Amino acid sequence: MTHPPTDTARAEFIFRAFFDQAAVGVAVVDSASAQVVTCNDRFCAILGLDPATAAGTLLGTLEHPDDQHLHRAAVAAIERGETDRYVVEKRYRHADGAVVWARVMTSAIAPPRSAASATPEAGWHVAIVEDITDRKQYEQALQHREAWYRSLWDTTPDAVVTVGADNLIRSANPGVQRVFGHTPLDLVGRDAGVLQPERLREAHRAGMARYLATGVRRVDWRGTEVTGLRKDGSEFPLEVSFSHASVAGEEFFVAFMRDISERKRAEQVLRQSEERLALALAAGQLGHWDWSVAADELDWSDTAKAMFGLAPASVVTLPRFLEIVHPEDRTRVQQAVETALDTGHNYDVEFRVVWPDGTQRWIQAIGKPQPNPGGRSERMTGLVQDVTERVEREAERHALEEKLRRAETLQALGTFAGGIAHDFNNMLSAVMGNVALARQALQAGEPAQGALDQIDIAARRARSLVKEILAFSRNEPARQVTLALQPLVEETVQLLRAGLPAGVTISAQLCATPMLVRADPGQMQRVLMNLCTNASQAMRGAAGRILLTLEIIGPLPHAAPGAAPLGHAVLRVADDGVGMTPDVRQRLFEPFFTTKASSGGTGLGLSVVHGIVAAHGGSIDVRSEPGHGTVFELQLPLAGAEATDAVPEAPSQVLAGIPWDDIRHVLYVDDDEVVSLMVGRLLERNGLAVRCVPDTQEALRLAADPAEPIDLLLTDFDMPAMTGIELAVEVRRLRPTLRIVVSSGTIDTDLQEHARITGGWPVVQKDELVQALGSRLKNRRR
C-alpha cells in the first residue's frame, strides 16, 4: 500500500524540480571554504563545468580575478549579519577561457544544528547566477557606437543640425560655432531660418512643406550650394547635404553644412590663373595639348592645331599627328614618346612637320607624363611651339661661323704646341744634362769649356721658348702674385687713353683703401683691356664715356692672422653705348659668339675674360639694356696685407732633405731613353749603382722583389701607363721607407700639392734635375 507523501517530501520534490530545471544557474557554496557544495546543470553550463565533478570546486577559481573582491566583501557582510543577501553583476571565467558576465543573487542559509554538536555548523550561501553576457556585449557595443558617433558629432569641422518638421532645431554640434558663430545651446529650439538670410527663409519653408506632402525633391540633397548667415549678420557661401528620417512617428531632417568660402576664393584664383595662362600662351605663341593614353584621346588647343596647319575644328588623333610629322623625323618622335611613357621622364623633342599645303615648319614639343602606380604613364600633357625662326637663325649662325676658321686654327696650333712641349723639354733636359756631365769631365780652362758654355746658353734660351709655348697653349698655369689693383687700373687707363676713338673718354674713380688680390698681372690687364675695348666699340662711332670704378664690399681687409673674411674687390667697367638685348646678354660669354661684323672679332674675348676671372676665384656679371649702356662688374676675393709671394725653392734645396750619404742604389724610371741614359751616367759617376727602366710595370716588379736593393726611387711624372705620382704611391705600399723624388717638365702648384698630399715627395724641374743632382752629390762622402 502506497503512503501519500509528507509535506517535507513534497517540498523537497518541488525544490529539487526547481533546482534541476531552473533557467538560471543555482549553486550552494560553503561559506567557510568557498567550495561548491552542489549546483544545477545550468550553473555548470554557464561556467563550462562537468556536473560530475563540479561539487568541491573552489568558487575563487571560477571568478574573474578583477571581480573576486566583490564576492569576498558580500560574503563577509552576510557573515557579520549586516545583510542576508546581495545582488551584483560580475565576471566569471568559462572553462574555455572566455569571459562570462553574470547577474548573481546570493542569500545566506544556515544548516540545522546537530544534536551531538554544542555549536552551530558552518554556514552556507546559495548563489543564483543569470548569464547576462549577451546583454553586456550589446551594452558595450552600444556604448562604443555612441562614443564613436559622439566623437564624429563633436569633432567634425562641418556644422550639423537636426530639424523637425516644424522647422525648429532639435540639436546642433560644436561645428555650428565655427561655421555660424552660434553656440549649440543658442540654436536648440530656434527656427532653422536663423541660419539663412531673411530673403531665403520663406522659400526654404515652402520647399520643406512640399517635400513632406509629396516626397519630391527639387534640389540635390547630396550637396547644394546656398547662402548662409552668420551670427554677426555676414553672408557666406555654404554647401548643404540633407538626410530625412522618421523616428517614433516624428519626422526630422539632418543637415550637414560646410563653409566653402575658401574653396570659392580658390576657384576664383584658379579661374584668374587659367585666364592669365591663356594670355601667356597666346603671347608666347604656345599651343597646349592633353593626351589620354588609355582612351587614346588627344586634345589640342586651336593654337596648337594652327602650328600643324590644321583648322580649329579639325579632329586630332595620334595617327593623324604622326602623319603630319616629317617622314624623316617620324621614327625619332615615336621613340621619344615611347621612352617618356615607359620611363616617366619628360618628353622634349624638336621635329619638322609638313602642312597639308606642303609648307614645312619646325616644332618643339615638350610633355610631362603622369605615371600610374605600375610605372606606365596613362596621361601626358604639354606644350608645342613653332621654332622655325630659331632653327633658321641657328643655320645662319653655323654658316657665319666659317669666319672663325682662323681662330680655330690658332687654337689648334696652341693645342699642338702644348703637345710637343713635353717632348721638347725632355730633349733640352738631355742637352743640358750632358753639358753638365761634359763639364765635369773636362779640366778648368780647357777650350771645350767655352763651347759647352755656348751650348748651355742656347739650351736655356730654348727652355724659355718652351715656357712661352706652354703659356700660349694655356697649359702653363697663371703666376699669381699679391697685386694692388689701383695701380694696375691706373696703368691700364693710361695705356688705353691714347688709342681710343675720337669723342670717347675714359676715367677712373678708385677707392682710396688699398686693395690687394692674388692675381696674374698680365692676365688681369688683359681682362681690363678687353672690357674697355668692347666698351669703346659699343659707342658705334659716337661720342661716349667709359668709367672704371673700384670699391670694396664685405669686411675690410684684416692684417691679423685668423681674422674674418676679407670681402671682395668690385671692379666695374661702365659705358653709355648702345647696350644689349636680353638674348645677346644671355649668350655673351659663349665661345665664338659675337655681334660684330665678319671682320670685327672672333667672339673669343669675353669667354677668355670669363675664364680668367673664374680661375682667380672671382665672378663676373653684366647689366645692360638697349639704349642704356652696359656695366660689367667683376668681383675678386681680397688678400690680406700679410699675404706674400712664395719664393720657389731651388732644385738643390728641394733635394736637401735626402740623406745622400746613405744612398747606394737608385732606381730611375723614365720613358725617354736619352734622358734616362744621361741621368744614369751622372749618378754612376758619383758612385751610385743605378737601374734605369723605361716602364712603370718593370719598376713595380723590381720594387716588389725583396732581394732587389733600392735606396732611392727617382721617377719622371709624365709617363704613358701611369704618372710618377701613381707609381710612387704603389711603390710606397711595397717599400714604406723608400726615399722618392719626382721630376717633371712642367711643375705647377697642383702637381706640387698632389705630391705633398699623397706622400710628401719632393718635385724637381726636369731640365734642372742633372744640375741639382750634381750639386747635391759632389759633397757626398766617398
Interatomic CA distance for residues 47 and 38, integer angstroms: 14
- Pair (492, 605) in one structural domain: yes
Q: Helices (DSSP H) in 363-404: which residue ranges?
A: 388-400
Residue type (1 letter), 320: R
Q: At residue 493, does pLDDT exceed 80?
A: yes
Question: How many other β-carbons are positioned within 10 Å of the β-carbon of residue 781?
Answer: 7
| pLDDT for the residue 157 | 80
Cα separation values, 404 from 263, 486, 589, Å: 61, 36, 16
- Phi, psi (5° rounding) for residue 13? -65, -45
- Pair (624, 668) in one structural domain: no
pLDDT digits (tens, 9 = 90+) for 195-234: 989 888 888 888 888 888 787 776 667 778 888 899 999 9
Cα separation values, 416 from 465, 471, 776, Å: 15, 13, 36
Q: Range of 703's domain?
A: 651-777
| pLDDT for the residue 649 | 57
SS3 712: strand
Q: Which among 649, 619, 661 has a CA at the least distance from the CA of 762?
A: 649
Q: Helices (DSSP H) in 156-301: which residue ranges?
A: 175-180, 184-187, 198-214, 261-283
- Pair (488, 577) in one structural domain: yes
pLDDT digits (tens, 9 = 90+) for 686-704: 788 999 999 899 999 999 9
Mean pLDDT of the chain: 79
SS3 347: strand
- Pair (457, 321) in one structural domain: no
- Pair (494, 610) in one structural domain: yes
- Per DSSP, 377 falls in state E
Q: For cell 723639354, what's the residue?
A: 425
Q: Is residue 738 part of a domain?
A: yes
Q: Is residue 21 part of a domain?
A: yes
Q: Confidence band (pLDDT; 50, 70, 90) for 410?
A: very low
Q: List Cβ neighbours of 438 (8 Å cut-off, separation of 6 or more).
A: 448, 452
Q: Is residue 393 part of a domain?
A: no
Cα separation values, 643 from 164, 602, 747, Å: 91, 38, 22
Q: Tell me what percent of the chain is helix, strand and coil, each rounded to the nearest 5.
A: 45, 25, 30
Q: Is residue 643 part of a domain?
A: no
66 exposed, middle or buried (CB, 10 Å; 0-12, 13-18, 19+)?
exposed
pLDDT digits (tens, 9 = 90+) for 625-677: 888 889 999 999 988 766 555 545 556 566 767 787 888 999 999 988 888 88
Interatomic CA distance for residues 492 and 495, integer angstroms: 5
Name the domain count of the chain.
Answer: 6
- Pair (331, 217) in one structural domain: no
Question: How many other β-carbons are positioned within 10 Å of the β-carbon of residue 243?
Answer: 12
81 exposed, middle or buried (CB, 10 Å; 0-12, 13-18, 19+)?
exposed
- Pair (489, 629) in one structural domain: yes
Q: At residue 118, does pLDDT exceed 50?
A: no
Q: What is the mean pLDDT of residues 252-263?
A: 87
Q: Is residue 141 part of a domain?
A: no
Residue scoring higher pLDDT (268 or 654): 268
Q: Is residue 143 part of a domain?
A: no
Cut 0.75: pTM above it: no
DSSP 645-693: PPPPPPHHHHGGGS-GGG--EEEEE-S-HHHHHHHHHHHHHTT-EEEEE
Q: For cell 544557474, what's the residue?
A: 25
Domain end among 607, 637, 667: 637
Task: Kindly report the CATH number assigned to the domain that includes residue 291.
Answer: 3.30.450.20
Q: At residue 3, does pLDDT exceed 80?
A: no
- Per DSSP, 20 falls in state H
- Pair (657, 582) in one structural domain: no
Q: Give Cα 232 to chain centroid, integer Å.
A: 48
Cα separation values, 82 from 68, 121, 122, Å: 20, 20, 17
- Pair (502, 623) in one structural domain: yes
- Per DSSP, 364 falls in state E
Q: Is residue 485 part of a domain?
A: yes
- Pair (120, 32) in one structural domain: yes
Q: List Cβ neighbours of 380 (8 Å cut-off, separation of 6 or more).
A: 290, 291, 293, 340, 341, 347, 367, 368, 369, 370
| pLDDT for the residue 571 | 92
Residue scoring higher pLDDT (499 or 139): 139
Half-sphere exposure for 328 (CA within 13 Å, toward CB)? 6
pLDDT digits (tens, 9 = 90+) for 160-181: 888 888 889 888 888 888 989 9
Interatomic CA distance for residues 413 and 504, integer angstroms: 36
Q: Is residue 596 part of a domain?
A: yes
| pLDDT for the residue 631 | 92
Q: Which residues of 719-755 are buried (b: 16+ CB within 10 A; e: fewer)?
A: beebbbbebbeebbeebeeebbbbbbbbbbeebbebb
DSSP 559-599: -STT-S---EEEEEEEE-S----HHHHHTTTSTT---S-TT
Q: What percentage of residues in the chain have a pLDDT greater than 90?
A: 10
Best-predicted range by mean pLDDT (442-451, 553-562, 565-574)? 565-574
Per-residue cell: 760: 710628401
- Pair (700, 577) in one structural domain: no
Task: Kindly report the CATH number assigned to the domain that includes residue 721.
Answer: 3.40.50.2300
- Pair (622, 743) in one structural domain: no
Q: Report the relative pairing of strands 739-744 and 712-716 from DSSP bridges.
A: parallel
Residue scoring higher pLDDT (507 or 778): 507
Q: For cell 676665384, what's the residue?
A: 617
Q: List Cβ neighbours of 114 (8 Å cut-off, separation of 6 or more).
A: 121
Domain end among 234, 264, 294: 264
Q: Which among 714, 722, 718, 673 has a CA at the least distance from the CA of 696?
A: 722
Domain end among 386, 411, 427: 386
